[in-house]
A and B are shown apart, each in its own frame.
Chain A
Amino acid sequence: MKIIKKILHNPSAVAGLVLLLFICLCVTIGPLFTPSVTDQNLLNQFASSSAEHPMGTDEFGRDVFARIVMGGRYTLISGIVSVILGLAVGIIMGAASGYYGGACDYIIMMICDIMLAFPSVILAMAITIVLGSSMFTLMVAVGISSSPIFARLVRAQFMSLRDATFVEATRLSGASDLRIIFCHLLPNSMGPILIQGTLRIGSSILLAATLSFLGLGVQPPTPEWGSMLNSARQYMWESPMLGVWPGLAITVTVIAINLIGDALRDYLDPRTRSLL
């Protein structure tokens, strides 16, 4: 609760929160008021902004504003779900590694090092190629590529806690390893993990949009922002604004999330806190 109070005193975090709430509101109830995202009208291609189409129309005469609002759902969901998937994998890896130590730790950390040896775009690309291109595989790919970062964090937390007195006490009272890990160690190391998770949502959204942009993620006609930019690339001469709106939407969303993430990190790290 202290952390929430602290964050509400940080103006940039409040700005991020308000922005994010606004975006969430738009993407949840927005599509009720906008035209259908698949309504084509080939007579009205590349229309410029008007009262009827605030952001104009695309190459099929579809309303760009409606597609942006709808696309936000996919973007926000892919960002959050991929972080949750990454957390799940990372927590299992990090918990095994930090709690058991020894050979287990060595092998898991080696796997993490190997995964981190690939630039994350390449790693995620490789995974989407194997699993096929869809919204779900996109989220799995992005999640897996961020899991080594979570694994390292969880491992560090567990290593500092595993010899603590309360863990000894639980062990003496006969609790199993799984119980110690999930009921005692994990809840006590959740703070930094959640903060790192929030920080990763922004970069996950960027990575997911990048993959969709390369044609490896969400497929047209689904209105995802990255794939909208990919199709806009071919029509830059006819309608330059087509390439502006989706990117602006991604940037604003990521800014909102990063504002919150930064405030959380500053709260956690007293060294930077004193510098603010």
Chain B
Amino acid sequence: MLKYFLKKLGMVLIVLIGAATCSFVVLHAIPGDTAQAIAGPQATMEDVERLRASMGLDKPLTEQYKSYIIGLCHGNLGFSYHNGKPVWDLVAAAWPNTMRLALSSMLVAILLGIPLGVLAAVKRGRVADTISMVIAFIGISMPSFWLALLLILLFCVNLNLVPFYGIQGWQSYILPSVTLGVHAAASIARMTRTGMLEVLGQDYIRTARGKGLQESRVVFLHALRNAAISIVTIIGLQFGILLGGQVVTETIFSWPGIGRMIVDALNSRDLQIVQGGILILACTFAVINLLTDLLYGILDPRIRYN
């Protein structure tokens, strides 16, 4: 198990170094003069040059890369171009909001997805199956930003039930969580149905039924547990997709998280923040993938030994 863990951890480290390099390369390839953009159109040539030197933008790219990587190792993500605040502080303030939203969306997804999938599998071929799968299918095909707009239209504009701007108490979590959760719920429901159908056809299910167990016990204790591996995999995968979806959802709901921070910083060309934000999202993504892999190894011993 330790060997499996170390192998996965090594992979994560390599991916993170690659991600850091990529975000550095990509953002330095952006056309346009950053120093000029920050100094503004009225700045003199001298001012721009001084600014460029003070930000280290006049050094060769390899030098900039080296100081960037060394800084990263010390937990230094650089400083915002506009207000000089350390990017680390900005990210540290936004990250918990992003994670809280991600977790509450995942909760919505699991609470909606698994029951829907189990229902569809148990009632296979009946009306309940068809209805659940049609719902799941629409959930997968719908763009999340449209769902967000529809929810705002219905609950904020028409019914005026919940706030749609920033975080104002627990009610603020409802709409963004549903927006993000529905897509994940749809995938989880489909995967749960497939996993359950596979398990329900096994001999041990027939045995469980044969020895007179209640149907609910058979479904939830015998079948669902064995279908858990495929469900956990899809939950881990969906968590990653959810992090990507945060960018859009946070922008729509003005949620003070990392996604909106990245979009705002992009619009104001604050590259250090963009770089830091993207890196932290990639980090979170990689750690979640690592956890999924580990959970996978725990749930199914066959994987661990291969």
Which of the 9-residue segments A42-50, A155-163, A236-244 touches chain B? A236-244
Q: Is the CB of B282 within 8 A of A117?
A: yes
CB of A129 within 8 A of CB of B266, answer: yes
Docked Cα-Cα span, A209 to B146, in Å, equals: 10
Indicate if A125 sits at the interface (CB-CB under 8 A): yes
What is the count of residue pairs linking A and B with beta-carbon distances less than 8 angstroms?
A: 132
* Residue B19 lies at the interface, judged by CB distance under 8 Å to chain A: yes
In B207-242, which residues have CB < 8 Å from any A CB? 240-241
Interface hits, A218-252 → B, CB 8 Å:
226, 229, 232-233, 236-237, 240, 243-244, 246-248, 250-251
> Which residues of the partner chain B approach A226 to less than 8 Å between Cβ atoms?
143, 145
Tell whether A255 is near chain B: CB-to-CB under 8 Å.
yes
Bound-state CA distance A209–B245 (Å) is 13
Of the four ranges (under 10, 10 to 19, 20 to 34, 35 or more), the interface on chain B belongs to 35 or more
Asked whether any CB of chain A lies closer than 8 Å to the CB of B132, the reply is no
- Report whether B145 and A210 are in contact in the complex, using a CB–CB cutoff of 8 Å: yes
Chain A residues, Cβ within 8 Å of B248: 121, 210, 213-214
Q: Does A114 contact B (CB under 8 A)?
A: yes
Residues 111-128 of A contacting B (Cβ, < 8 Å): 111, 113-115, 117-122, 125-127
CA distance A244 to B14 in the complex (A): 44
For the complex formed, measure the closest distance between the CB of B120 and the CB atoms of chain A, giving whole angstroms.
Answer: 11
Of the listed stretches B41-49, B73-81, B107-115, B134-142, name the one at the interface; the rest are far from the partner chain.
B134-142
Interface residues of chain A: helix, strand, loop or mixed (majority): helix
Report A-chain residues with C-beta under 8 Å of the C-beta of B26.
Answer: 126-127, 129-130
CB distance from B23 to the nearest CB of A (A): 7
Q: Which residue of chain B has the shortest Cβ distance to A111 in the bound complex?
A: B18
A: contact size bracket: 35 or more
Residues of B within 8 A of A250 (CB): 142-143, 146
Residues A258 and B23 in contact in the complex (CB < 8 Å), given A119-B240, A121-B245, A125-B247 = no
Residues of A that sit less than 8 Å from B by CB? 110-111, 113-115, 117-122, 125-127, 129-130, 132, 202, 206, 209-210, 213-214, 226, 229, 232-233, 236-237, 240, 243-244, 246-248, 250-251, 254-255, 258-259, 271-272, 275
Instruction: Give 9 nearest A-B pairs by CB, closest first.
Output: A119-B244, A247-B146, A114-B18, A254-B141, A121-B244, A255-B141, A243-B149, A117-B15, A126-B26
Q: What is the interface of chain B, defined by CB distance below 8 A to chain A?
A: 11, 14-16, 18-19, 22-23, 26-27, 29-31, 137-138, 140-147, 149-150, 152-153, 157-158, 194, 197-198, 240-241, 243-245, 247-248, 251-252, 262-263, 266, 278, 281-282, 285-286
- Given A125-B266, A127-B26, 17 new contacts (CB under 8 A): A113-B14, A117-B15, A117-B282, A119-B240, A119-B244, A122-B247, A122-B262, A126-B26, A132-B31, A236-B149, A236-B152, A240-B157, A243-B150, A247-B150, A254-B141, A258-B141, A271-B198
